[in-house]
Homo-oligomer: A and B are copies of this chain.
Amino acid sequence: MEKQPVVITGRIRLKRFDPAYCGGRDKAATKARTEQLGRRIGELQPKLHANARHAVLLIFQGMDASGKDGAIRTVLQYVNPAGVQTANFKVPSAEESAHDFLWRIHQAVPRRGSIGVFNRSHYEAVLAERVLGLVPKQVWRARYGQIVDFERMLVANGVVVLKFYLHLSRREQAARFKERLANPEKNWKFSHADVATRQHWDDYIAAYEDMLNATSHPAARWCLVPADRNWYRDHVIAATVHRALKALKLKWPKPAEWQARVRVK
């Protein structure tokens, strides 16, 4: 097993990374630190909004039950909901299918000043669509380059793109599915599709691995997040989002010159 490289810069093999990795960290201390990072993210967002020069887009991918929803909730718990735009990409509608695969994605890109969340994304076009054989190989292979070009354009236009792959073990997924079936507050989360998808586990892992290697480009790297432990997963993501916001060096905008001449009567 390799130490977890949070950011993918070279070629990786997924099986070398332990989904239960936590860097020997203490759970309670890490949760407290994540909470603190969450507060800071909440404090930085109003400045992002006031300047309206950048948008921050968080892309979440991972197997069912890898904790995409939970991570989003924890990391953004102190952010004003009005400053967040979330998009859930489900099976494309007839209208969406009649367009290129990036058409519906582009529409959901957050406006400047806000934080966007993609709960699943354009990457399903090289994951589910590949594994289920919905498109031929030459089509999904060509999409890697199209995705990189699209993301580069977004970044060049002020969108900070952060991509999180939530790395879950097959065993931990089974435990979470059983919990969903047993717990009346979680039954509704369990769908027929979950069972079907689990049967393609190895195909999905292969598709994820190819995706990570083909699309972790300098403008928008993939972050590999060990996901068997919720608290470590949330910490890695919160730290990454916080670092990205801090790097923008956000200040309150300077007043416009005309403001000095205004008299409110």
Contacts and interface: CB of A to CB of B under 8 A. Distances in A.
A252 B188 contact: yes
A51 B73 CA distance: 18
A170 B85 CA distance: 33
A80 interface: yes
A81 interface: yes
Contact of A253 (B188, B192, B262): B188
Interface string A181-222: 100110111101001001000000000000000000000000
Interface residues of A, number: 40
A76 interface: yes
B81 A254 contact: no
Interface in A37-85: 50-51, 69, 72-73, 76-77, 79-85
A254 B73 contact: no
Most buried by B among A79, A177, A259, A264: A264
B84 A259 contact: no
A115 to B, nearest CB: 8
